Amino acid sequence: MTDVADAALTPRAEQTRAAIVAAALHLFRERGYEAATMRAIADRAGVSTGNAYYYFGSKEELIQEFYARNQAEHLAACQPVLAVETDLAARLRGTVRAQVAVMAPYHEFAATLYKYAAEPASPLSPFSPQSSPARQASIALFRDVVEGSRARMGPGVRDRLPELLWLYSLGITLYWVHDKSAGCSRTYQLIDATVQVVAQLVSASRLPVLRRALTDLTRVIDLLSP
């Protein structure tokens, strides 16, 4: 993000930033990511091209802003469940279902975006250094899912589980991107069918054999992490 994103903005400046983001998302859906130029985004937002570049140095920065706003909406959408549930499966189900619901308006755009985000070297990848703020915010949310539950688990599992749950949510997101069912109903069915399995595996992590398997898995993740 540019330095402007980190500075305190006036209400008018924040309104301008929001207009640019909204225009960018509209054009990404309408024309595709590559065809939506910064000049076209500025025209749609009703600002000069220079003004658009003042707030966002590139289209990649606009996508990172989209990630950040999407994550903030997801956090807010989770609170009704996280405030009352202590069962791990229920907390995870509510959190991942909320994630899909928040992303729903961008379903068609997400399929286009995924082509670029799936590239290992892309700044749009969820594993990229540029995506680190959104990634860490999401992992923090899953840490809240874990810490607010009454789940019992093996030693050391609690520290690494939020990251594993974030990876699980990425798998759900990938399925959702390709889900053509009405209202993405199959994605919700997948969530409901898997969260209980995840919770059972967490509980079983107290067994030495599974604890070793989870330790090996986290080592693999460490090797693959940027």
Number of domains making up the chain: 2
Q: Is the pLDDT of residue 1 over 50?
A: no
Of 123, 106, 118, nearest in space to 61 by CA: 123
Of the pLDDT bands very low, low, confident and very high (cuts 50, 70, 90), residue 114 is confident
Are 79 and 30 found together in one domain?
Answer: no
Task: Output the CA–CA distances (angstroms, integers) from residue 69 to 10, 17, 75, 138, 170, in the order listed.
Answer: 18, 12, 10, 12, 17
Are 38 and 69 found together in one domain?
Answer: no
Q: What is the average pLDDT value for the chain, to the nearest integer?
A: 88
What is the Cα–Cα distance from 83 to 110, expressed in whole angstroms?
30
Domain end residue (candidates: 26, 57, 88): 57
Q: Is the pLDDT of residue 157 over 50?
A: yes
Q: What is the pLDDT of residue 181?
A: 96
User: What would the pLDDT profile of 124-141 be if each residue is shown by its tens digit?
Assistant: 999 899 999 999 999 999
**Residue 178 C-alpha from the chain's centroid:** 16
Of the pLDDT bands very low, low, confident and very high (cuts 50, 70, 90), residue 222 is low
Rounded to two decimals, the pTM is 0.84
